[in-house]
Amino acid sequence: MNPSSVATVVLADAPACARRSLLRLSGEGHARFLEAWNRLGNGGGVVALARDGDMVLAGAGVCEALLARSWAARHRDPREMLHLAGAAREVAERLKPRTHGRLRVADLQARAWGELANALRVANRLDDAAAAFDQAWSRLQEGSGDPYLKAHLFELQAPWLASAGQFAAAQRRLTVLAEIYHHLGEPHLAGRTRVTQSIYASRSGCQEEALRLSAEGLAQIDRRRDPGLLMTALHNRLLLFLRLGRQAEARAALAKWRGFTAGAGLCAVALRLRWMEGRVCHGLGELACAEAALRQARDGLAALGLEISAAVASLDLAATLLRQSRTREAQDEARTAQTIFLLLELRHELLGVVVLLDEAFRAGRATAELVERTVALLRRREIEAAPRHAA
């Protein structure tokens, strides 16, 4: 497999700077990348690279493989992500400028420090992540000035700022990032940035601004290039409409995109869209439609192991059943949700709200409005794990 094929297939989900960097590997570096990539993919972590005693943990190809595998693990295994990013940083720091070129080494070091910072952020080690970002920006100044690498570091740092509660600073980073992508002729990536800005605007309480940004993002992203991003953007837009009580607009948005999302299968984002559809129908009083959508979403989310989301969907279903005077079925759904929250050790103050709801059912005082208020409280405390673009 030649470097171009690897960049297209193996790193299809990787940032642009990673694919561009891979294309600059020498023939030997490319061979070492493939060997390291395959060994890491067989399990065993960094130890797997030297399992047969014939691969030294050194060189640009090995560094690229560690970074690529770390990126691939970001949604699946955060601990492995951090382990591999740390190893990549160590390899990058040992690269010799005389062998690989001074600018090339600085670029790889900047990227390795940036990926390590992102992994530390995911691990909630925010102070360590801040120090790693400082190193990344320092190395960037010594490198080739690759605008794609600069954009990637901006994209990684924005979630760290948001995690630290610095939403205004995160938005400034993302505004610059969108401008960089426009300058590079990358409207899809600019649109993805707008989607992320919309999420942060919503979290900081600016719902109308979030709607504006989400509209810009949906207009720019290429749905054929990244169907998952399209569904994430649509999900967040629907969530905004529901928060603002604009159910009719939410239904219009669903109708516009239903043909596309119908073929999306049972991935998490598609199921969340189905969940949103159930909530929209509930708000409009279309209870049979709401029930069917909520049942499918609840079952699908549970099958994917998304227990908290499935439990909240059960509570949404309980409210729909109560509006149909099906109290016994609604109580069963609420108890199922309570069991999940107990097993997952939900925070005490939130678990108390769910227990009070169960007591209301036992006393015959449960209403759809009470269930809806309970679910709204859970969502405000971010128990509902809405999908987001994660760097």
| pLDDT 10s digits, 55-74 | 677 888 889 989 988 898 88
Average pLDDT over residues 217-232: 82
Using pLDDT thresholds of 50, 70 and 90, give the confidence band for residue 6.
low
Share of the chain above pLDDT 90, in %: 35
The closest of 274, 283, 358 to 310, measured between CA atoms, is 274
**pLDDT tens profile 8-39:** 545 666 788 888 888 888 888 888 888 887 88
How far is it, in rounded angstroms, from Cα 251 to Cα 248? 5
What integer pLDDT is reported at residue 387 of this predicted model? Answer: 38
Q: Which residue has the tokens 């990032």?
A: 177
Among 235, 264, 293, the domain boundary falls at: 264
**pLDDT tens profile 37-54:** 788 777 767 776 766 555
How far is it, in rounded angstroms, from Cα 347 to Cα 364? 26
**pLDDT tens profile 296-330:** 999 998 888 888 888 889 999 999 999 999 989 99
- Are residues 257 and 279 located together in one domain of the fold? no
Q: Please count the CA atoms within 13 angstroms of the CA of 81 that sit on its side-chain side.
A: 19
- Are residues 5 and 133 located together in one domain of the fold? yes
Using pLDDT thresholds of 50, 70 and 90, give the confidence band for residue 391.
very low
Long-range contacts made by residues 266-270, C-beta under 8 angstroms, separation at least 24? 266/300, 266/303, 266/304, 267/228, 267/231, 268/301, 268/304, 268/306, 268/387, 269/228, 269/231, 269/232, 269/235, 269/387, 270/231
What integer pLDDT is reported at residue 252 of this predicted model? Answer: 84
The CA distances from residue 189 to 66, 68, 225, 357, in Å, are 24, 20, 11, 44
What integer pLDDT is reported at residue 32 of this predicted model? Answer: 85
Using pLDDT thresholds of 50, 70 and 90, give the confidence band for residue 5.
low
- Are residues 139 and 3 located together in one domain of the fold? yes
- Are residues 101 and 8 located together in one domain of the fold? yes
- Are residues 3 and 137 located together in one domain of the fold? yes
Q: Quick check: pTM over 0.85?
A: no
What integer pLDDT is reported at residue 52 of this predicted model? Answer: 55
**pLDDT tens profile 180-221:** 999 999 999 999 999 999 988 888 888 899 999 999 998 898
Among 217, 245, 264, the domain boundary falls at: 264
Domain-embedded: residue 311: yes
CATH of the domain at 259: 1.25.40
Domain-embedded: residue 157: no
- Are residues 116 and 196 located together in one domain of the fold? no
391 versus 147: which is more confidently predicted? 147
What ranges in 146-267 are assigned the alpha helix state H?
Answer: 147-163, 167-183, 187-203, 207-220, 227-243, 247-261
Domain-embedded: residue 74: yes
Range of the domain at 55: 1-144
Average pLDDT over residues 169-178: 91
What integer pLDDT is reported at residue 383 of this predicted model? Answer: 42
- Are residues 365 and 285 located together in one domain of the fold? yes
Share of the chain above pLDDT 70, in %: 85
- Are residues 1 and 104 located together in one domain of the fold? yes
What integer pLDDT is reported at residue 1 of this predicted model? Answer: 54
- Are residues 360 and 293 located together in one domain of the fold? yes
Domain-embedded: residue 154: no
What integer pLDDT is reported at residue 11 of this predicted model? Answer: 61
What integer pLDDT is reported at residue 241 of this predicted model? Answer: 87
Domain-embedded: residue 343: yes
What integer pLDDT is reported at residue 260 of this predicted model? Answer: 60
Domain-embedded: residue 346: yes
How far is it, in rounded angstroms, from Cα 112 to Cα 85? 7
What integer pLDDT is reported at residue 203 of this predicted model? Answer: 81
Quick check: 137 pLDDT over 80? yes
Q: Mean pLDDT of all residues in the chain?
A: 83
Average pLDDT over residues 217-243: 82
Among 83, 110, 144, the domain boundary falls at: 144
Quick check: 169 pLDDT over 70? yes
Average pLDDT over residues 152-159: 92
Kindly report which listed range (12-16, 178-182, 239-243, 346-350) carries the lowest average pLDDT score: 346-350
- Are residues 242 and 283 located together in one domain of the fold? no
Quick check: 289 pLDDT over 80? yes
Into how many domains does the chain fold? 3
Domain-embedded: residue 327: yes
Domain-embedded: residue 38: yes
What integer pLDDT is reported at residue 17 of this predicted model? Answer: 86
- Are residues 17 and 111 located together in one domain of the fold? yes
Residues in the chain: 391
DSSP label of 157: H
- Are residues 170 and 302 located together in one domain of the fold? no
How far is it, in rounded angstroms, from Cα 232 to Cα 130? 28
Quick check: 123 pLDDT over 50? yes
Quick check: 272 pLDDT over 90? no
